C-alpha cells in the first residue's frame, strides 16, 4: 500500500522544484551481486522499480551520500570503493538535477528498515520488471553492455 503522506510530500517536492528552480545533486547505485543481477527498489510513494539512492546533502561528497543512502535504504555497505558509472543531467519538470551513478560490485548487506522503501530485489539485466523506471532500465543496459564513464541526459 502506497503511503498517501509520502505521495503528497513527493508532489510538493516537485512543485518546490518548479517554483525555486534549485539545482540538486543525487546519487544512485548499480548494486550488482555475484550472479550479475542488479538491485532495484520499490518506493512507498511511487509506482515502479528504481535504482537505490537519494540526494546529496550540502557539503557532502557524492560517494559519502551514496554510502549513506545505501545503508539507510537497503542495508548495503560497499567493501571496496564504488566505481563511477556516469553523470547525468535531468532538466524535466523545471528541475536542474545532476545524478551521479556508481557501480557497487563488492558489498555486504544487513537488514534495513526505511519508510521510503517498500521492497528491494535483485534482477537479471535481461529480466527487469515490466514497471522498472526508464532511467533505471537505461543505466542497467549501459552497465550490462560494459559502458562506463557515461555523461549525458538522464
End-to-end Cα spacing for the chain: 28
Q: Report the pLDDT value the prediction gives residue 118, as an integer from 0 to 100.
A: 96
Of residues 3 and 65, the one with the higher pLDDT is 65
CATH H superfamily, domain 4-153: Nucleoside Triphosphate Pyrophosphohydrolase (3.90.79.10)
Q: With beta carbons less than 8 A apart as the criterion, state whether 15 and 89 touch.
A: no
The CB-side HSE value for 86 (13 A sphere, CA atoms) comes to 19
Domain boundaries, the chain: 4-153
pTM of the model: 0.83
Q: What's the pLDDT tens digit per position in 75-120?
A: 999 999 999 999 999 887 777 889 999 999 999 999 998 999 999 9
Residue 7 CA to chain centroid, in angstroms? 18
Q: How many residues does the chain have?
A: 154
Q: What's the pLDDT tens digit per position in 12-42?
A: 877 765 666 578 899 999 999 999 999 999 9
3-state SS record for the chain? CCCHHHHHHHHHHHHHHHHHCCEEEEEEEEEECCCCCEEEEEECCCCCEECCEEECCCCCCHHHHHHHHHHHHHCEEECCCCEEEEEEEECHHHCEEEEEEEEECCEEECCCCCCCEEEEEEECHHHCCCCECHHHHHHHHHHHCCCCCEEEEC
Range 17-28 burial, b when 16+ CB lie within 10 A, else e: beeeeeeebbbb
What CA dihedral angle connects 73, 40, 56 and 71, to 10 degrees? 30
Q: Report the pLDDT value the prediction gives residue 2, as an integer from 0 to 100.
A: 82
Q: Report the pLDDT value the prediction gives residue 5, as an integer from 0 to 100.
A: 82
Q: What's the pLDDT tens digit per position in 42-59?
A: 999 999 999 999 999 999
Instruction: Using alpha carbons only, give the angle 137, 139, 143 rounded to the nearest 5 degrees.
Output: 115
Amino acid at each position: 500500500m502506497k503511503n498517501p503522506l509520502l505521495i503528497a510530500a513527493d508532489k510538493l517536492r516537485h512543485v518546490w522544484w518548479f517554483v525555486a528552480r534549485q539545482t540538486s545533486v543525487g546519487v544512485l547505485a548499480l548494486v550488482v551481486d555475484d550472479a550479475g543481477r542488479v538491485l532495484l527498489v520499490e518506493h512507498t510513494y511511487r509506482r515502479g522499480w528504481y535504482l537505490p539512492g537519494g540526494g546529496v546533502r550540502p557539503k557532502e561528497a557524492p560517494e559519502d551520500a551514496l554510502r549513506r543512502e545505501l545503508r539507510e535504504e537497503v542495508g548495503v555497505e560497499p567493501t571496496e570503493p564504488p566505481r563511477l558509472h556516469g553523470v547525468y543531467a535531468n532538466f524535466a519538470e523545471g528541475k536542474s538535477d545532476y545524478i551521479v551513478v556508481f557501480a557497487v560490485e563488492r558489498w555486504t548487506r544487513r537488514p534495513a528498515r526505511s519508510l521510503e522503501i517498500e521492497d528491494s530485489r535483485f534482477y537479471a539485466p535481461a529480466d527487469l520488471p515490466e514497471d522498472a523506471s526508464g532511467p533505471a532500465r537505461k543505466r542497467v543496459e549501459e552497465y550490462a553492455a560494459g559502458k562506463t564513464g557515461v555523461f549525458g541526459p538522464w
